[in-house]
Amino acid sequence: MTIELALLGVSVGTLSGFFGIGGGTVSVPILLYLGFGIKEAIGISVTQMVAGSLMAGWLHHKNRTYKISDVKYFGYGGIVGAIVGGLLVKILHSSILEWLFLSIVAFTLTRLAFSNPVPTRPEVVHRPLYTLVGSGIGVFSGMLGVGGSILMTPILVSFMGFPLKKASAVGHFFVIFSSISAFSTLLWLGMINLKAGLIMALASLIGTVMGIWLLHQIKVTHYKQILVVFYIVIFAITAYKLITG
C-alpha cells in the first residue's frame, strides 16, 4: 500500500498544482477504491493538502501571481468554516458526505463549463466579502476533505471577475488555511491516519512543483478546456462508486 499511496501522492500533487485544487477531488475517490472508508479517506486527503498547499503557496508567492495582502482574507474566513466542517464530519452519516461531495463536483463542473476564462467584469476587491466567501467554502472543505478551491475557482471566475489562472492560484492559497484548520480538527477527533497521510503528503511535494510549472506553460483557453474535462472525469468516477456501492 505504501507504493500505491506514494504514486497517488505524486499524481495528486501534479494535478493539484496544475488545476489549483487541494487534491481531495482526486484523492478521496481513489482512496475509496483502495479500500479506505470515506472518513479515513478524508483525513488522509487533508494531510496531503497541508503539504501540497504550502508548497504551492510558496511557489505562487515567488511568481507574484496575486497579492497576499488581499487574498489572505479568504483564508481567515476559511479557518473558521473548516473547523465547523470538521466537526460536522463526526456527526453526519457517511452516505450524506458522499452524495454531498458528488453535488459539489457537479456544481463546479456546471459553473466552469459556462464561464469565460477571460474576465468580462472588473475584479472585485472587497476584504469583508472575501472573508464571508472563505467562511462558507471552509465549511464544505472541512466536511468533505477537499481544499475548497473546487468551489473557490468557479465563484471567483463567475461572480467576482477573477482571471481563470489567478482564481486557480488563489484557490490553492485558500487551501493552506482550510486544510491546516481541518487537519487540526480531525487530528483532535482521532480521525487522521498519519502514516498513510504523510506518505501521500511527502510524495505530493514533487508533483506540486511539476503541476505549477505546467500551469504557466499553457494558454488560458486550453487550460479551461482541460479543467472542464478533469471535473467530468472526477464526477463520473465518484458517481459510479456511489451507484454501484
* Segment 62-99, tens digit of pLDDT: 888 888 888 889 989 988 888 888 788 778 777 777 78
Give residue 245's pLDDT band: very low, low, confident or very high (50, 70, 90).
low
pLDDT in tens, 110-166: 877 877 777 778 889 899 999 999 998 888 777 776 667 777 888 888 888 888 888
Closest CA to 210 of 61, 54, 56, 8: 56
Closest CA to 142 of 191, 207, 95, 198: 191
* Beta-carbon contacts of residue 11 (< 8 Å; ≥ 6 apart): 26, 207
Per cent of the chain over pLDDT 90 is 20
- φ, ψ of residue 193 to 5 degrees: the values are -90, 90
Query: How many domains, in total, are found in the chain?
Result: 1
What pLDDT, on a 0 to 100 scale, did the predictor assign at position 10?
Answer: 95
Q: How high does pLDDT run on average in the chain? A: 84
Question: Is the separation of the CB atoms in 222 and 93 below 8 Å?
Answer: no
As a whole number of angstroms, the distance between CA 144 and CA 20 comes to 17
What pLDDT, on a 0 to 100 scale, did the predictor assign at position 13?
Answer: 93
Closest CA to 47 of 33, 20, 28: 28
Provide the residue range defining the domain that includes 233.
Answer: 2-244
Strands (E), the chain: none
Distance of CA 15 to the CA centre of its chain: 10
What pLDDT, on a 0 to 100 scale, did the predictor assign at position 147?
Answer: 63
Residue 204 has pLDDT above 90, yes or no: yes
pLDDT top residue among 59 and 104: 59
Residue 49 has pLDDT above 80, yes or no: yes
User: What are the angstrom distances between the C-alpha of 32 and each of 104, 149, 242, 244?
Assistant: 17, 21, 10, 13
pLDDT in tens, 106-125: 877 787 787 777 777 888 98
Give residue 205's pLDDT band: very low, low, confident or very high (50, 70, 90).
very high
The grid coordinates of residue 109 equal 463542473
pTM for this entry? 0.74
- Mean pLDDT across 7-34: 87
